Amino acid sequence: MIGMDRTELAKILFSGTMLAIGLVADHVLHADEISLVAVFGLGYIVCGYDIYNECYHNLKHKVVFDENLLMAVASLGAFLIGEYPEALAVVTFFSVGELFEHMAVDRSRRSISSLVDMIPETTNVIRDGIMVTVDPGDVGIGETIVIKPGEKVPLDSVIVSGSASVDTKALTGESIPRNVIAGDEVLSGMVVLDSSLTARTLRVSDDSAVSRIVELIEESASRKAHAERFLTVFSRYYTPSVCLASLLIFLSSMLLGCDTYGSLYRALTVLVVSCPCALVISIPMGFFSGIGCSSRLGVLVKGGNYLEAMNRLGTVVFDKTGTLTEGRFSVIGAYPTVDDIDILAVVARAESLSDHPIAKSIVQSYGRVPVPPDSSENIAGAGILSVFDGKRILVGNRRLMSMYGIDIPDTEIAGTAVHAAMDDDYIGYILIGDTVRDGALETVSELKASGIRTVMLTGDSDAVAKDVAKELGVDSYRSELMPEEKLTILEDIIDKAEGTVAFVGDGINDAPSLARADIGIAMGGIGSDVAIEASDIILMNDSPVGVVSARRISRKTMRIVYQNVVFALGVKIGIIVLAAIGHANMYLAIFGDVGVSVIAILNAARCLSTRGMRVGKND
Amino acid sequence: MKATYKLEGLCCPNCAERVQTRVLEVKGVQSVKLTFMTQKMVVMVDDEVADTLLPQIEALIKDLAPKVKLARL
């Protein structure tokens, strides 16, 4: 607890004690008026001082309708009409409410600063062949650092030597450690578990993962949801309206024959419930906590507005490769149509000079380093023409085969086939596949179960797309798309959609689609600047389940936010009505102010809890 | 130039907005963004007047919200 809060607490305790003494003196000891004024007045001055001080500053700056002024008027009015205990109770509980609000909001803020603690205070860096211990902020790019077992990775780096298990929980929410070897990247915030790593730094401290995440979350607080904007406007009108209502209640009570004291009491009671603090604080706090909660699960949401949009989610459009599937090709099988030919060897040799991911996967699957062909020519969009051992080897798709007049035997092929021909003869094909990502199935089925339409877009062949679409059960898919066609189709979906449309992609070549969708969701973590720029939600895990977590968190956050709005307004309006007809006393009004604040804030704090928000094995 | 402040003890988002509005009214201030949840205020001011303007802004905040603890980051 900070020093200021401790002083506040002392004042509250003093005023609370005075309130108790005063009540006993009044009701049990039947003390005289002068003593009561002294006891209640002393307590009133201690807790009321701050309120009056704020009023003075506000009035100096021409701020009239402020909760402090209302509390000052209401309590002073109560004191003057002889309701001393009520007056003291108003200022005391008002201070209790403020103190509580501070503490709750601070707690919500700390959920973010616990991430900052993931940056270690020192790091071991090798300079001129000697290991020195320095502040991570003083380490530049390209320096060599040593991370020992149990230490946190200080800066984003690439491993030069060593291998280890690393705990990535702080970044990805994933509790199972990941194994890393030389050449892999480690990010700040990860914890090296079992052995030392030597690594070369890729980014300075301020640009490393943890700092970027903290910055994104802090930035997110300034992207307001509609609910928040509405409330800012609403509270601007709410307080003056209540003051007006208070005046009208006073006048009408007088006209209807109520005595001056009674009418004043009614009017003052209404003033006490006029403070919109409960709502005004609980709503941004709810969104901030919801965003904090999702960051713990490895889902970075860039603003409350996106949580709000996720709540109205109607359609999710997935890019296939790298999102629903691993994006890594592997050979499923080799199907020669001619005996005595090792078709994998021939194709691997023919493709050994190509950079195409499929070619690479074939060479990798061959397992040996092929002898380079005598010549190799890339035929765009079709395949490769290579020459070796005095033979012309064609490797590629159906189009390449027909370009050279080679007939492909009529067989049903499920998947991507790489056909091969030697001179003028077809020699068979190699079947290439891409595996479905962990969690893709759960993601699609939970979205569908919530009534959300799922669409898959891909540049791959129809056969492959059909296979994956069937395996995952997506509602519809489009295949053989050029990148710009994906954007056109997405726009078409957005035009026709009920509810919001999210696009999930790997962030590298989907930037336009990520930016165009109502909610752009990028997979692949904090590493890619393009993904962070273009997207609204970033999944730190290599699994699409983050989409479901984000949706669950958004549903819960919005539910809590709406609960607070309805509850707080309902209670306040109810009390105003009761007060107008003379059935509410000031204690009830204090509950309508402080009690409602406390309840709304406690409710908003529930947004921080990750329970039930995780999908799959950790649920 | 850009200056970042931390305002500890802001009472509520309404107070934050009020401070933001008033700081923005100061002549020479280009933009202000004050976020209640993070308690951070980023002000952009004209370079040539920054030396006199920043103390002026600090004084204004102290006067507007006497309970706030102000720190330049």
The per-residue pLDDT for A169 is: 85
State the catalytic residue, choosing from A156, A167, A319, A506. A319
Q: What is the pLDDT of residues A386-434, one digit of tens each?
A: 998 888 999 988 888 888 888 888 776 767 788 999 888 889 898 887 7
**Facing residue for B13 by CB, picked from A57, A61, A232:** A232
Q: What is the pLDDT of residues A105-135, one digit of tens each?
A: 888 888 777 777 788 889 999 999 899 999 9
pLDDT at A271 over 50: yes
Neighbours of B26 (CB within 10 A): 14
Which residues of A lie closer than 8 Å to B, measured between beta carbons?
A: 2, 4, 50, 53-54, 57, 60-61, 63, 98, 101-102, 105, 108-109, 218, 221-222, 228, 232, 235, 276-277, 280-281, 284-285, 288
Instruction: Give the residue-averaged pLDDT of A293-313.
Output: 92
Q: Give residue B57's region: left, alpha or beta (phi > 0; psi -120 to 50).
A: alpha
pLDDT at A381 over 80: no
Tokens at A372, concatenated: 């380079």
Q: How far is B36 from chain A (nearest CA, A)?
A: 8
Mutate: best of B14, B19, B67, partner A, most A CBs <10 A? B14
The per-residue pLDDT for A566 is: 94
Whole-angstrom distance, CA of residue A466 vs CA of residue A341:
31
Tokens at A148, concatenated: 């020992």
Residues whose CB falls within 8 Å of the CB of residue A63, separated by 6 or more in sequence, listed in order: B18
Lowest average pLDDT, out of A40-44, A235-239, A528-532, goes to A528-532
pLDDT at A470 over 80: yes
Query: What phi and psi values does residue A100 have, to the nearest 5 degrees?
Result: -65, -40
Give A327's DSSP letter.
E
B65 contact A CB<8A: yes
The per-residue pLDDT for A4 is: 60
Q: Provide, as residue numbers in chain B, all residues whose Cβ is less than 8 Å from the Cβ of A284.
A: 13, 36-37
**Facing residue for B38 by CB, picked from A54, A101, A221:** A221
Q: What is the pLDDT of residues B8-47, one digit of tens each?
A: 888 788 888 888 999 999 988 999 999 888 889 999 998 8
Q: Provide, as residue numbers in chain A, all residues whose Cβ is less than 8 Å from the Cβ of B69.
A: 4
The per-residue pLDDT for A437 is: 87
The per-residue pLDDT for A134 is: 93
pLDDT at A600 over 60: yes
The per-residue pLDDT for A508 is: 67
Q: Which residue of B has its CA nearest to A292?
A: B37
Q: Provide, as residue numbers in chain A, all residues whose Cβ is less than 8 Å from the Cβ of B8.
A: 2
Q: How far is A204 from chain B (nearest CA, A)?
A: 19
Whole-angstrom distance, CA of residue A600 vs CA of residue A609:
16
A319 is catalytic: yes
Judge: A57–B66 Cβ closer than 8 Å, yes or no.
yes
Residue A619: band (very low, low, confident or very high) from pLDDT cuts 50, 70, 90: very low
Q: Which of residues 24-43 of B touch A (CB under 8 A)?
A: 33, 35-40
How is A261-325 classified by DSSP, letter by letter? HHHHHHHHHHHHTT--HHHHHHHHHHHHHHHHHHHHTTEEE--HHHHHHHHTEEEEEEETBTTTE
Lowest average pLDDT, out of A55-69, A251-265, B31-45, goes to A55-69
Buried b (16+ CB within 10 A) or exposed e, A557-596: bbebbebbbebbbebbeebbebbbebebebbbbbbbbbbb
> Using CA of residue A271, residue A276, residue A278, residue A279, what is the dihedral sign?
positive
Residue A527: band (very low, low, confident or very high) from pLDDT cuts 50, 70, 90: low
Q: Provide, as residue numbers in chain A, all residues whose Cβ is less than 8 Å from the Cβ of B13.
A: 228, 232, 280-281, 284
The per-residue pLDDT for A1 is: 43
Q: How far is A53 from chain B (nearest CA, A)?
A: 9
pLDDT at A141 over 60: yes
Mean pLDDT in chain A? 88
The per-residue pLDDT for A412 is: 67
Mutate: best of A50, A102, A222, A557, partner B, most B CBs <10 A? A222
Judge: B37–A53 Cβ closer than 8 Å, yes or no.
no
A523's enclosing H/E stretch is strand A519-523
Chains A and B form CB pairs within 8 A to the count of: 53
Instruction: Give the residue-averaged pLDDT of A520-533.
Output: 76
Edge-first strand listing for the sheet containing A191-192:
A178-180, A164-167, A191-192
pLDDT at A450 over 90: yes
Residue A157: band (very low, low, confident or very high) from pLDDT cuts 50, 70, 90: very high
Mutate: best of A61, A211, A220, A601, partner B, most B CBs <10 A? A61
Rg (CA), chain A: 34
Residue A337: band (very low, low, confident or very high) from pLDDT cuts 50, 70, 90: confident
